[in-house]
Amino acid sequence: MLDRTGKLHGKDDSKVSWEPVYRLVKRIPRGRVTTYGEVARALRLPGGARAVGFALAATPRGRGIPWHRVLGAGGRIRVPEGYAALQRKLLATEGIPCGDPTIDLQRYGWSPLRVKKGRRRRSGGKR
């Protein structure tokens, strides 16, 4: 549950770490984006997309967390304008066009829920 300051608390009222959010965001490939809601669903995060927003707003510097690859619903940039300009610039360096108000999630979207853990061998074929 989120408190008024945006901190996430567990059932025993202990603070929950944002590390799972950061680990998942680090998995987003270059040239791909996902939404706050997708991250929240993948982690079953209490507080949903808003909690992911709080986590990314608190992203520590120097850890290589690609916060710019996470967007609002429908592919909209949802950060304040100073950071929005930086987010558009970073996305453009990865080949994602940011001229429209939204980014095409059909083309550039990535879902943590659709990632397969490992490869399976095909049966009946040559080895």
33 and 71 Cβ atoms separated by less than 8 Å: yes
Query: Rounded CA gap, 41 and 38, in Å?
Result: 5
Identity of the residue numbered 91: L
What are the domain boundaries of the chain? 19-108
pLDDT-wise least confident of 24-33, 64-73, 118-127: 118-127
Query: Rounded CA gap, 25 and 67, in Å?
Result: 7
- pLDDT confidence of residue 99: 82
CATH fold of 19-108 reads Arc Repressor Mutant, subunit A (1.10.10)
- pLDDT confidence of residue 78: 94
Per-residue model confidence as pLDDT tens digits over 88-109: 999 999 999 998 889 999 999 9
pTM: 0.79
The residues, any chain, with a CB within 8 Å of residue 85's CB and separated by 6 or more, are: none
Output 71 or 13, whichever has higher pLDDT.
71
Mean pLDDT value of segment 38-45: 96
Identity of the residue numbered 31: G
**For the chain, what percent of residues have pLDDT higher than 90?**
70
Identity of the residue numbered 108: Y
